[in-house]
Structure 1
Amino acid sequence: MISMELSTNKNLAYKIFRGIPYSRLTLLDAEQRRETNDVCPEELGLNDAGIYTSESSEAIRHLRTNVELLDSKSLFMHSLVALVVTKLLEQSGRFFISAEGNEPMTPSNEELIKTGALLLSNLLKIQINCYGVEHEMKRIGAGIYPTLSLVNHSCNPSAKHYTRGRNMILRAVRPIAAGEEVTISYTPDYLDEEREKRRKHLAEKYHIACECDACQFEWQTASKLPALMLKCFRCTQSVSGDLPVCYSCRLEYKNKSSFEDKIRFDTIAKQVDATFLSACKIAQNLMRAESISEEEYQSLCTATEFIHEHTAMPCQVIYNMERILEKYFTVER
């Protein structure tokens, strides 16, 4: 007897299969194969109303497995788990039942192999599409949310996801322009983890070679970031706060020939400081009362927009603004 401890993801796969008898599963598999052949890729996973939703079984059926990217060791381990779960389903007496659904049946080798193959496919889908479910900042389970699986990764994500009951909610933590891609982080983001650790995790679990700004330019973690970097008025790139001079176009804001720019630069710096201090006061209210008013929330959004308009990433001010919004989103209300 093989002794094996099933992780949360494997338990989830077992629960999904345990609730669907084999006769029903084969019909769903046939339907998926038909859809894959007959439906254009852009429409795979849409329900009867033409909507892609996490409540749709069609969306779950057409999630990616990335099986073609797995090495032989990973594929073997997942196959081994699929074998064990298949045997558990066989022994349960509730999975292989007659078409009428009232009598257990003895599966043939072909039926066992087909079940194992379908299980393997679902295990691989869960591996890369499963999200932790949290309550009061503690993980209490896992779930599959196909709509969220449409969102790509960035170590500098524009949005954060969190759970509210059984629902997964996605919220922006900074302004997102029309047509700009919405991203989340599949790992701790650049603020919390060094680039090499992030890349190692992404390569092993998701087979991703991330090329976001945080990876390309080797942004530092939160504790090593400069307090503030304003945007250059000429080229919108970062301005060193010590000189101050633009890293890109080399415009010097202390030069006498650019006196008006210096006055404007100092004014914006003071406005950013004042805006950030105002946001910090709202954050203190949030920490004390575990809630803030709608007016205070709108003030946070306005402050975030203003700071991102004039501040360059990465810096402590933007980091703290994102954490304040994230705290607001995750507080139970």
Structure 2
Amino acid sequence: MLGKYEDKVYTAICSEKTLQSNEKGFFMQFVENVQEEVGQDWIQNTFGTLKSDKERIRKVYEYEPLKTVVFDTLSRVQEIYRQKSADVSQSRRRLAEQALKNGEIQKALILYSQSILRSPPTGENKAVDDGKSLSLGFWGRSQVFATMNEYNFALSDIQTALKENIFDSYKAQAFWKMGVCYKAVGEVERSKVAFGVAEKLLQNNEGALRNLKKDMEKDYKQNSNQFKKSLPKVSGKSHPKLPNASSKICIKQAKGLGRFVAAQEAVQTGDVLTVEPPYAACLLPECFGTHCHHCFDRLIAPVGCPTCCSIAFCGNDCRNIAVKTYHSFECKYLDLLIGSGMSILAHTALRMITQNNLEKILKIYENKDLEPVYSLCTNSELRRPEDFFQRTLMACFLLRCLQKCGYFPYRRDDDCTPSEDELKVAELLLLHLQILQFNAHEIYESKCSTNHRFKGVKAGYIGVAVYPTSSYFNHSCYPGVTRYFVGKNIILTATRPINPGEIIPENYGPVFTRRNLVERQKSLSSRYWFVCECIACIQNWPSLDKGLDNVSRKVRCPTQRCTYYFVLPVENDTIKCPKCKKNVCLTENIVRLKNCEEQLKEAGELMEKEDAKNGIRLLQEAIDVFHKVSVPPHRDIHLGQELLRTFLAEAGNVHVVAQ
């Protein structure tokens, strides 16, 4: 399949990891049990001859020896999730109150948030806090935010505490503090209204009224520097047919390349080519406690699911969207799904179903050609029978979870046997598992220190998503774009100029500056099932630590459309070009190359000064000019492109870690 770079064992391991990433999970054990029952000969010579996903799904449910062992496992699927606890909520709140008294602000904030996330809905357990644990948690956390001068968060928590019917004895204080918060965030009229309500509630308490008057006259400052990152606009005009893309790109198709993105017109360094929300996205389980389950922003004032304690949201808006759609089905089975060891890709395959209701999913099934995501590569013609078999079993497991969670409104019995509609959903799940293996993007945030915004920055992965338009970009070990993320939106920006008609490549992981040819090819052939034939691979460019320093500098022939380049140094700046046969002067190009190198050095100095704005401007200019007068590889220009990627990523998800 992949010639000298193919490692069948490693390829099989990579493929399995896209189904089950956690070795402690039970899914692959389930697969092994089924494989033992039917035998490798049946998988190879019977299941392996099936030609469609429809046939594969139905074979599992119809072939009696296979059906029996599969149903035995699927019949045991049941709700497993972390339930709410008023006792735990009360305990966390009391610890938070003590921490706040001790001046341990951050500890108090964490404990109050835990109290909120663990609290059952208001009125559910009246034996604890008279059923008002949730409102008390929000009220307590609002005091912490007020202490921190984070009045916007304090205001939101007070409003929620009132909505959750806080004790009457707290209401005067709540409107009082609401008035303070409104005043701090600049909403003067609302501040007056809130203070007025507090006055009425305190009409018989002269001491409190005097203090209220004092607070009404004070000035308050909102100290929060928290803000939502804004999305950039694509360069040029919006593409008429490709959602969320620039008109500077187009989709082409060629033998051996499939569909790919090319330049419709000249692309310059820094051009924004796509700004795309995901078709579907899932947060990594290890980020459930740090990021919003829906938008992927870092949590500051988290709110919880009304039912489970497994996840958190940045606010009510994200929570309401999630609990009205996908999370209503995943909620009580989330811990089971994680316990199965299934990969984040498998979860995303499920999310592609749960984010829509059954009626819409059945329409999608009948009209897949209208959904761009279903035109993405599956490599089904290269897939081995064992791989198809494993994915089919995962589709059946996910379908069983959907059967149990109420996704199919008409299902009443506990039989695993699927209906015709359920079989269609299982087919889609199997298709999703194939698409996502080769088209999913890892969503990341840049982790930097308080000491320096750019030194030692590392990418921390937080989730996975599929982007139909951005997935059309083919790979190169010498990429033409870089990606960063705002929330779960992907932004692809050009890191070098691309001429009209040329391929605009992305990078799927292995880049030539960091990994040698053999390492890159093994990784790509095992993970993505292709042999890379980019210029860095064909010419076997050296990596940074294996000789890139020693590559000679070059300048292009100045004759228009001539592709020849001269290796520096040259004996004479005026020389005959062996390709176009003209006598040419190289002086101007040599000078411009030297200027580029000086600009790259200056950009490095701007990085030291943490001046991203001017650094980006300088790098864009230098990289554009370099490609007019020289050709890669060139150590300084590639380091400059890496620096540009670091600068650009600051506009996306960033987490500052205290040092």
Q: Give the TM-score of the pair, scaled to structure 1.
A: 0.77
The equivalences for 1:177-192 within 5 A come to 177-192=499-514
Corresponding residue of 1:109: 418
Contact 2:345 2:433 in 1 (8 A): yes
Using the TM superposition, give the Cα deviation of residue 202 of structure 1 relative to its aligned residue in structure 2, in angstroms: 2.0
Q: Name the CA distance, whole Å, in 2 between partners of 1:79 and 1:159.
A: 35
Q: For residues 556 and 350 of structure 2, what CA distance do their matches in structure 1 show?
A: 55
| Alignment check: 8 A CA contact 1:10 1:123 kept | yes
Secondary structure, counterpart of 2:441 in structure 1: strand
Task: Indicate the residue corresponding to 1:49 in structure 2.
Answer: none
CA deviations 1:187-212 (Å, max 9, x no partner) are 22111111222222222232212211
SS of alignment partner, residue 180 of structure 1: coil
Identify which of 253, 272, 282 aligns with 2:603. Answer: 282
Whole-angstrom distance in 2 between the partners of 1:259 and 1:16: 61
Instruction: Report how far residue 139 of structure 1 moved.
Output: 0.8
Q: How far apart in 2 are the matches of 1:193 and 1:278? A: 27
Q: Compared with structure 1, are the counterparts of its residues 144 and 273 closer, same or farther at alpha carbon in structure 2 (3 Å cutoff)?
A: same
Output aligned runs, 1:117-196, within 5 Å: 117-136=427-446, 137-196=459-518
- For structure 1, list consecutive stretches of 5 or more residues without a partner in the other structure: 37-44, 46-57, 245-252
SS across alignment from 2:613: coil
Secondary structure (helix, strand or coil) at the match of 1:143 reads strand
CA contact (8 A) 2:444 2:485 kept: yes
- Residue deviations 1:55-93, cap 9 Å, x none? xxx22233332212212232222223222212222222x
| Structure 1 Cα separation of the partners of residues 359 and 595 of structure 2 | 65
Structure 1: how far apart are the matches of 2:498 and 2:530?
A: 23
Tell me what 2:398 maps to: 85
Separation in structure 2 between the aligned mates of residue 310 and residue 269 of structure 1, nearest angstrom: 8
Deviation at 1:12, TM superposition (A): 1.4
The structure with the larger Rg is: 2
Match of 1:96 in 2: 408
Whether 1:20 aligns to 2:374 is no
Q: What's the % identity of the aligned pairs?
A: 23
Give the AA of the match of 1:86: L
Separation (CA, whole Å) in 1 of partners of 2:492 and 2:482: 6
The amino acid across from 1:260 in the alignment is T
Q: Partners in 2 of 1:283 and 1:89 — Cα distance?
A: 53
Alpha-carbon separation, structure 1, partners of 2:413 and 2:595: 72
Q: Which has the higher contact order (CA 8 A, sep 6+)?
A: 2
The one-letter amino acid of 1:229's match is: R
8 Å CA contact 2:555–2:589 kept in 1: the answer is no
CA–CA distance in structure 2, aligned partners of residues 220 and 213 of structure 1: 12
The answer on whether the counterparts of 2:517 and 2:537 sit within 8 Å (CA) in structure 1 is: yes
Q: TM-score, length-normalised on structure 2?
A: 0.41
TM-aligned CA distance change 1:115 to 1:322, over 3 Å:
same
> Is 1:316 matched with 2:631?
no
Local SS of the residue matching 1:13: helix
Q: Any conservation in 1 of the 2:482–2:495 contact (CA below 8 Å)?
A: yes
Is residue 228–residue 316 contact of structure 1 (8 Å, CA) maintained in 2? no
| Deviation digits for residues 277-308 of structure 1 (CA, Å, limit 9, x no counterpart) | 32332333235426324xx5333222112222
* Residue number in structure 2 paired with 1:206: 528
Q: Could you tell me whether the CA contact under 8 Å between 2:483 and 2:492 is conserved in 1?
A: yes
**TM-fit CA distance, 1:19:** 3.3
**CA deviation string 1:95-150 (max 9, x = no partner):** 1213xxxx756674344443322211011111111101111221111111111111
After superposition, where does 1:252-331 map in structure 2 within 5 Å? 253-254=570-571, 258=572, 260-261=574-575, 265=586, 268-269=589-590, 271-289=592-610, 291-293=612-614, 297-331=616-650
Go from structure 1 to structure 2 and tell me whether the alpha carbon gap of 1:332 and 1:287 turns closer, same or farther (over 3 Å shift).
farther
Q: Any idea what the Cα deviations from partners look like across 1:33-57, whole Å, max 9, x if unmatched?
A: xxx4xxxxxxxx5xxxxxxxxxxxx
**What is the aligned length?**
290
CA RMSD of the aligned region, Å? 2.8
Question: Is 1:62 equivalent to 2:354 in the alignment?
Answer: no
Asked if the contact 1:282–1:292 (Cα under 8 Å) also holds between the matched residues in 2, the reply is: no
SS at match of 1:184: coil
User: Structure 1 21/260 Cα, relative in aligned 2: closer, same or farther at 3 Å?
Assistant: closer
Deviation at 1:5, TM superposition (A): 0.6
Asked if the contact 1:279/1:303 (under 8 Å) is kept, the reply is yes
Distance 1:316 1:62, change over 3 A: same
